[in-house]
Amino acid sequence: MPIFGTDGVRGLANGTLTADLALTLAQATAVVLGQGRTAEARKAAGKRLTAVVARDPRVSGHFLEAAVAAGLASSGVDVLEAGVIPTPALAFLIADRDADFGVMISASHNAAPDNGIKIFARGGVKLPDVVEERIEAAMAGEKLRPTGASVGRIIRFADAEDRYVVHLLGSIPHPLDGIKVVLDCANGAASGVSPETFKDAGADVTVIGADPDGWNINDGVGSTHLDKLAEAVVRLGADIGIAHDGDADRCLAVDAEGKIIDGDQIMAILAVSMKERGHLTDDTLVATVMSNLGLHVAMREHGITVRQTAVGDRYVLEDMNAGGYALGGEQSGHVIMSEFATTGDGLLTGLHLVSEMARQKKTAAELASVMTVYPQVLINVRGVDRDALEGDEVVQSAVREVEAELGDTGRVLLRKSGTEPLVRVMVEAADAESVQTYATRLADVVRERLAL
């Protein structure tokens, strides 16, 4: 069974994700990513292979970081240990230090008992499937076993956070000019660097969820739990709240009244601004098939094309890289600004969102009004044959009927799960009653036709 999922290797720390697995994975990564013309040229020039390693503050990150560093150093790779920093910071630092690759130890928005290992290639980019397959195959093969002076060194990357902060501050188009911001750092990797950066950018900052103890990451705080942030923003009379997840590659927001501003709305705000400033390549935004219909309507009204990809930020990135596009992301808050980052960056996204408030002298709610969020219902139909979905004519006929009834005022999407025997039925329309009626109708058909 493959060990790589949609975003690296993830599992219960010390359960499925052991120190032995981490060490072996690191050794295999050194074999695969230490090959190629660039790596050979470095060796020929007498330069050593180098990797940046970082983690989020989960308690299990300590032993997994040690195992990864040991596996790399034992394979002749010099390790720059960056400590606790966000995933996008690691991606930036790989390119900034001209390292050969990097490893992030984090399970993102998962609960504290889980952990994960994400591998980034040279330049700070995520690995394509074929390279992950090569690394997995190499885990069972011969490892690099240098001796003497050829073993790797493990070196503290002392200025890692400072380099990242300088990069972020240099990216924003306008200082934050005293805007009152509440930051929720999810007791995660952004707990130190995000408040520092927002303050340096000029914001008046209040912080919650920034006391990591190794076990409280994502525990009732962060981008998956917005209630505390919304309450704090309203109680303190703040202008906006910004929420990260555990490894800070996501950003969601709440306005001054505590209303959620999701990833689609953030992308709409940034896309319109970037087009006006001439920074939106081909006037195009890349989003997934799960993005709200309201995003498509709003972008069309502003002369912006929306390209759709499969669900997952890696697919958004692939399309952006192939077309050279400047902006893309997901409803969940993974927003990618390719001029400044090679992956989703919650700090970068939040800074640019607040910067737009300052630049345009508008409230967060006024900016978010660029897009009307259409009511959306998602029903998970369990216990069905997901693989029979596309071939069942009755189901497909039911979908076509609903699409015809909705016309241009709604949207239907049926997706099979990649891991469970279920089908996701999603319907969007202009009014909530119609959405629920159509979604229930289609879910009943799926349940009846595809039952196991």
pLDDT tens for 413-437 read: 999 887 688 999 999 998 888 899 9
Q: Can you read off the two tokens belonging to residue 93? A: 């630092």
Please say whether the dihedral angle defined by the alpha carbons of residues 335, 340, 346 and 352, taken in this order, is positive or negative: negative
Q: What is the DSSP string of 101-128?
A: EEEEE--TTS-TTEEEEEEEETTTEEPP
**What are the catalytic residues?**
108
Compute the distance between CA of residue 122 and CA of residue 144 in angstroms, rounded to an integer. Answer: 19
Annotated binding-site positions for Mg(2+): 108, 245, 247, 249
Residue ranges per domain, the chain? 9-158, 164-368, 376-450
> Which has the closest alpha carbon to 239: 124, 98, 354?
354
Q: Pick left, alpha or beta for residue 167 (phi over 0 → left; psi -120 to 50 → alpha; otherwise beta).
A: alpha
Instruction: Count Cα atoms within 13 angstroms, Cβ side, for 191.
Output: 23
How many angstroms from the chain centroid is the CA of residue 256?
25
pLDDT digits over 99-108, tens only? 999 999 999 9
CATH topology of domain 376-450: TATA-Binding Protein (3.30.310)
267, pLDDT greater than 70: yes
Give the per-residue pLDDT at 35. Answer: 80
Give the per-residue pLDDT at 37. Answer: 64
Mean pLDDT of 358-382: 95
Give the per-residue pLDDT at 38. Answer: 66
* 9-158 matches 164-368 in fold: yes
Give the per-residue pLDDT at 39. Answer: 67
> Which has the closest alpha carbon to 287: 324, 320, 316?
316
Give the per-residue pLDDT at 431. Answer: 85
Gyration radius of the chain over CA positions: 23
pLDDT digits over 174-215, tens only? 999 989 999 999 999 999 999 999 999 999 999 999 999 999
Q: Can you read off the two tokens belonging to residue 20? A: 């032995």
Annotated binding-site positions: 108, 245, 247, 249
CATH topology of domain 164-368: Alpha-D-Glucose-1,6-Bisphosphate; Chain A, domain 3 (3.40.120)
CATH of 9-158, one of 3.40.50.12780, 3.40.120.10, 1.20.120.1200, 3.10.20.740: 3.40.120.10
Mean pLDDT of 355-380: 96
